[in-house]
Amino acid sequence: MMQARGRLIGLGVGPGDPELITVKALRLLRESPVVAYFVAKGKKGNAFGIIEAHLQDVQTLMPLVYPVTTEALPATLSYEKLISDFYDESSRHIAAHLDAGRDVAVICEGDPFFYGSYMYLHDRLAEHYDAEVIPGVCSMLGGASVLGAPLVYRNQSLSVLSGVLSHDDLKRKLADADAAVIMKLGRNFHKVREVLTELGMAGRALYVERATMSNQKIVPLDQVDPMSSPYFSLIIVPGDRWQG
């Protein structure tokens, strides 16, 4: 008789505040014999910090250590090749547990399918194994909450943009937006603020670092030091207020 294979579970654990993890995510986390999590070299990781208090001694922990993050690479190295190989290798390690009949919960800060690293494992494994994805509160919603900023009113549309976009692409997309959330700031902050200023949107733009985390920081846009803006920061340009 063939052994039943394990299930792949993508677990969204929310934007940072441990109390924002869902009841279902917490239950599946506790039931999973293997817990995998993405982490930078030498770090504990934000997602792991969210769920650490809920782990049990009998669970196997599987840190998936990024070979690179956002640091500049030597010209001889390709970020795309390194990170693709990393996801391939991580998928093989997870598949070994699944083949042995063990469920694997891959925890993901925010929501697994919203800029989540889990997506790249899902794309590689979900065709071959049972997979379940548990949604989580994503960072832009956590950011809107702590900023007290309703995102969109009535028939307005929301644009979610990456700060990695070129100056011209970002400007074109923002110019047509009723409301916007700009992710992936970090080293892109100066360019993003410049575009917002050129469009006359800087006055209504709101900035937050590490929303809902214990080290959350809300700073006026014109006072942000571009050299210190972290990856886990975002800018919200709310839609025009409608009183009803």
Q: Do 108 and 88 fall within a single domain? A: yes
Q: How far is CA 220 from CA 20, 29, 178, 179, in A?
A: 26, 37, 21, 18
Is position 100 within any domain?
yes
Query: Which residue did the predictor score with more confidence, 2 or 225?
Result: 225
Q: Please give the helix or strand (H or E) that residue 37 lies within, else none.
A: strand 34-39
Q: What's the pLDDT tens digit per position in 13-28?
A: 999 999 999 999 999 9
Residue 20 is encoded by which pair of tokens? Answer: 């924002």
Q: Is 75 left (phi over 0), alpha (psi -120 to 50) or beta?
A: alpha
For residues 49 and 62, is the Cβ–Cβ distance under 8 A? no
Eight-state DSSP code of residue 118? H
Residue 178 falls inside a structural domain:
yes
**Domain end among 137, 162, 187:** 137
Could you tell me if 194 and 109 lie in one domain?
A: no
Q: Is 199 helix (H, G, I), strand (E, B) or coil?
A: coil
Burial of 34 (0-12, 13-18, 19+ CB in 10 A): buried
* Tokens describing residue 110: 């925010």
Give pLDDT tens digits for 55-100.
Answer: 999 999 999 999 976 555 666 678 889 999 999 999 999 999 999 9
**How many domains, the chain?**
2
Same domain, 180 and 145: yes
What digits encode the pLDDT tens for the residues 172-220? 999 999 999 999 999 999 999 999 999 999 999 999 999 999 999 999 9
Q: pTM for the whole thing?
A: 0.91
User: Above pLDDT 70, what percent of the chain?
Assistant: 96
Residues 200-209 as b/e (b if ≥16 CB within 10 A, e otherwise) read ebbebbbbbb
Nearest alpha-carbon partner for 204 in 221, 229, 192, 216: 221
Tell me the C-alpha distance between 213 and 116, whole Å.
18
Contact of 240 with 203, CB cutoff 8 Å: no
CATH number of the domain residue 157 falls in: 3.30.950.10
Give the DSSP H/E element, type plus range, for residue 35: strand 34-39
Q: How many residues does the chain have?
A: 244
